[in-house]
Amino acid sequence: MQRRRFLGLTAAGAATAALAPALTACGSDGGSGSKTLRVVAADYGDKAANSSQKYWDSLARAFEAKNKGVKVEATVLSWTEVDKKVAEMVASGKAPDIAQIGAYADFAASGKLYSADQLLTIPTQADIIASIARAGEVARVQYGLPFVSSTRMLFYNKTHFAKAGITKAPESWDELQAAAKKLQAAGVKIPYGLPLGPEEAPAETLLWMLSGGGGYTDHDGTYTINSEDNVATFNWLRDELVGKGLTGSGDPARTNRQDVFDAFCNGQVGMLNGHPTLMKQAEAKGIKYGLAPLPGKAGKAKSTMGVADWIMAFKAGGHREEAGLFLDFVYSTKNVLNLTGQYDLLPVTSSASEKMQADSNKAHLKPFLEQLDNAVYYPVDKTSWAKVSKALKEKIGSVVAKSGDPASVLGEIQREADATELAGAGK
């Protein structure tokens, strides 16, 4: 889920000011002797009508009905601001009791979080898919609880493909470029949507790195941001896709994921990398789309990106027992499926995954589910990842500009990553 995120969310942003008072007294007790859990969560909706605020409010009321001594106050913020807001709250000594955001490791390393075994019952812990749960560990102790997961695939507009005479989805970079040129000639405004703006630049970056045989780290977990493969990938992207006008007239460095998703749903984009939730958005607008594996440098990419968003409980409020009760409730099969079913996300528990696999109404998610075993995740177990992700959001878009220098920019981010790692090791 790692940021970025599955959806670019704007609905919650407008509500932030109205919700601000709830963000200033996290962890306090409610009236009549009850304990109040303050929850800050990210929004998976793309408009007010399907905001995650409704999910959390409903979940809170159902939990309160079964746990009379505990109240839950949930504040939902857009993905563009929720990580920053939680970091600010923690820094000011007003950490929420529970946060559902994109990264956890820096909070865990500084001793601010409860571990999973301090919160969850054994059955709940055992139900979380092991391969995803391991990504929540720091020094072999799990602090980050996976909330939802997803993988990415290439989406393409079938109508545009037919009009442009493209008979199959591209499997290599050369085929991707050739398809984009045909789409451009057919009058498609954005042949390939390239969101390298601040909302979720690390995701598109990783997808391209993987397609070129690289990645953020090697098998030992060492950063390889400025590897030869990665530099070559962005040189090609700069010269052969962006440089030839195949990503539209906008600046990729200022283009957010939801911008591209919206354009795809409005029929303006030929191809883009997307996650399951885009299916529902596209169908709502009558877009006929196809799905394909990530194109690679010389053929289908060997892997795709997997995303898990995280939920964690802070020690500051002293509400370990109440937080544990609530999180057990969150991970019940019914509640997991309520959330994932609404937004076409993938569950992180075995029980919910099995039910989804058996549900004929969820057959459209199987291509994404089948990629989970081969997915590569952000290095969220590294305490440096939050700063590295921030640097990527600020700088990576510049590498595809006409005068962009991938080797220089990736080298700069690599040096920042190495310095952050070294500083953390010295603590």
For the chain, the structural domain boundaries read 13-150+307-376, 151-306+382-425
Asked if the domains 13-150+307-376 and 151-306+382-425 are classified in one and the same CATH topology, the answer is yes
Encode 275-307: b = buried (16+ Cβ within 10 Å), e = exposed: bbbbbebbeeeebebebbbbbbbeebbebbbbb
The answer to whether residues 416 and 394 touch, using CB atoms and an 8 Å cutoff, is no
CA-wise closest residue to 404 among 180, 258, 252: 252
* Cβ(180)–Cβ(270) below 8 Å: yes
Q: Are 72 and 323 in contact (CB under 8 A)?
A: no
| Fold held by 151-306+382-425 | D-Maltodextrin-Binding Protein; domain 2 (3.40.190)
Please state which CATH number belongs to domain 13-150+307-376.
Answer: 3.40.190.10
Per residue in 293-309, pLDDT (tens digit) is: 999 999 999 999 988 89
Q: Which positions of the chain have pLDDT values less than 70?
A: 1-33, 373, 425-427
Residues of the chain with pLDDT > 90, as a percent, come to: 73
pTM of the model: 0.76
Q: What pLDDT score was predicted for residue 25? A: 38
pLDDT of residue 29: 52
pLDDT tens-digit profile of 272-300? 999 988 998 999 999 999 999 999 999 99
